[in-house]
Chain A
Amino acid sequence: MSRPDGQLGLFGDKEVALVDLLDRLLAGGVVLTGDLTISLAGVDLVRVSLRALITSIAPAGDGEPARQDPGPPG
C-alpha cells in the first residue's frame, strides 16, 4: 500500500510496526476455512510470545518495580 503523503506531523511516514500489522492480520482479514488456519488459541499465543520477546529485550534495572501480571490477553 502506498505510504501516507505526510504533510502533517501527526501523519508522518513511518515503517509499519509489527504489532500494528499483527493486530490487523490476526484480528482482521476474511476468515475462510482453509485446510490449515491459525486458531484463535494461536493468536493469543502470538501475543504471549510478543510480550515475552519485548520484555526480554527491554533494558533492565530502570528502577521501575515489577509490573503486576496484566492477566490473560483480551
Chain B
Amino acid sequence: MTPPRIYVYAVCAGKPDTAGLAGVSGGTVEALPCADLVAVVGEVPAGEFSTERIDDHLQDLEWLARTARAHHDVVGAVGAQTAVVPLSLATVFHDRDRARQEMEARRDVLAAALGRVRGRSEWGLKLYRPAGPARESGGRRDRPASGSEYLRRRRAEVDAARSREDDADRAAAAVHDAVAAAAVDARRHRVHDESLTGRPEPMVLNAAYLVDDDRVADWRAAVEGAATGDLVMEVTGPWVPYSFAEAHGSGAAG
C-alpha cells in the first residue's frame, strides 16, 4: 500500500497543541518543526490526493466542501492559539522531508507573512445593490403614442438602470475606501454571481480587510459610519488571515 501523503495546513511561529484535531479525510494533525517555524501537517490517503484524482475531486462538490471545512477547522483551531499563515487548499507533499524541504526553502517568505498577520484578523465585507424600480417612468403605464415614443421611453429605462449601476459602483468604492482606511490592508475578491449568492440583489463589493485585533471596534465603527441606505451590507469574520497570507502588490486585486 502506498504510504500516506503529507497535507500542509498552515505555518505558525509557535508550536500549537494539535491533540484531538481531526484533519482532512479524517487524518491526524501534527506539528512539524521547519527551521525556526512550525508547520501544521497531517497524513492523507495517497490515493485520494494524487495528481490523477485531484481534478475529479474538484468537480465533486461534496468532496470539496468536506475538504475545505476540514482545512478551515484545523487552521482555525491553530489560529486561536498562535499567529498563523494558512496555506492554499490541498498543498500536499510526498512525505515529511519534502514538506520540510519546501518550507525551509521558503522560510523568509513565510516568516514575513507571519509578521504581517500577527495580532491581526481578517474581516469580510460584501455589498449588494438593491434592485431598482421596475419602471423609471414614474409609474406611467399608458401606452406609448408611437414607436418613437416607445423607443424613447425604453432608452430612458436602460439609461436609468445603467446610471443606478454606476452610482452603486461609486458608492461601493467609497465604502471600501472608508473601511480600508480603518484596516491595515485590504483586498477585493471577485464578486459572486447571483446564482452563488442566492440573493436577488447583484453583489457590487466582495472585500477582505486585515484588522488589528485591538482595533476591531474602530473598524466596526468605520463600517457602520460608511453604511449607506443605497447598499445592503454583509460582514463576515473574524477569519484567519487567508486573504493576506501572500504578499500582494495592490490593495485592489478584484
Q: How large is the interface on A (under 10, 10 to 19, 20 to 34, 35 or more residues)?
A: 35 or more
CA distance A53 to B121 in the complex (A): 31
A60 within 8 A of B: no
Ordered by A's residue number, 13 sampled pairs between the chains whose C-beta atoms are within 8 Å are A1-B239, A20-B236, A25-B72, A25-B88, A27-B189, A28-B245, A30-B85, A30-B246, A32-B88, A32-B102, A34-B90, A58-B198, A73-B190
Within 8 A of A (CB), among B11-62: 11, 49-51, 54-55, 58-59, 61
With A23-B189, A24-B208, A49-B58: A36-B238 Cβ-Cβ less than 8 Å: no
Residues in B whose Cβ lies below 8 Å from that of A24: 122, 208, 239, 242-243
B98–A42 touching, CB < 8 Å: no
**Is B224 touching A45 in the complex (CB atoms < 8 A)?**
no
The answer for the CA separation of A74 and B224 in the assembled complex, in Å, is 30
Question: Quick one: which of B109, B208, B227 contacts A30, CB cutoff 8 A?
Answer: B109
The interface bits of chain B over 75-87 (1 if a CB of A lies within 8 angstroms of the residue's CB, else 0) are: 1100110000111
Q: Say whether B58 contacts A45, CB under 8 Å.
A: yes
Residue of A nearest to B85 (CB): A30
Check B195–A16 contact: CB distance below 8 A. Answer: no
B89 touches A16 (CB 8 A): no
Neighbouring A residues of B243 by C-beta, 8 Å? 23-24, 27-28
Assuming the contacts A50-B196, A74-B190, asked whether A2 and B238 have C-beta atoms less than 8 A apart, the reply is yes
Per-residue CB contact flags for chain A residues 19-50 toward chain B (1 = under 8 Å, else 0) read 11111111111111111111000100110011
Contacts of B121 in A (CB 8 A): 1
Is A4 part of the binding interface, using a Cβ–Cβ cutoff of 8 Å? Answer: yes
**B86:A30 contact, CB within 8 angstroms:** yes
Contact-size category for B:
35 or more
Interface residues of B in 193-220 (CB under 8 A from A): 193-198, 206, 208, 220
Partner of B79, one of A1, A10, A42: A1
| Bound: A34/B98 CA distance, A | 8
Please report the C-alpha to C-alpha distance between residue A8 and residue B233 in the assembled complex, in whole angstroms: 13
Interface string of A43-74 (1 = CB under 8 A from B): 00110011101110010000000010010011
Q: Are B242 and A34 in contact (CB under 8 A)?
A: no
- Residues in B with CB closer than 8 Å to A1 are 75-76, 79-80, 121, 238-240
B242 touches A29 (CB 8 A): yes
B174 interface hit (Cβ, 8 Å): no
Which one, B54, B59, B64, B237, contacts A4 given CB within 8 A? B237
The reply to whether A42 and B239 form a contact with Cβ atoms under 8 Å apart is no
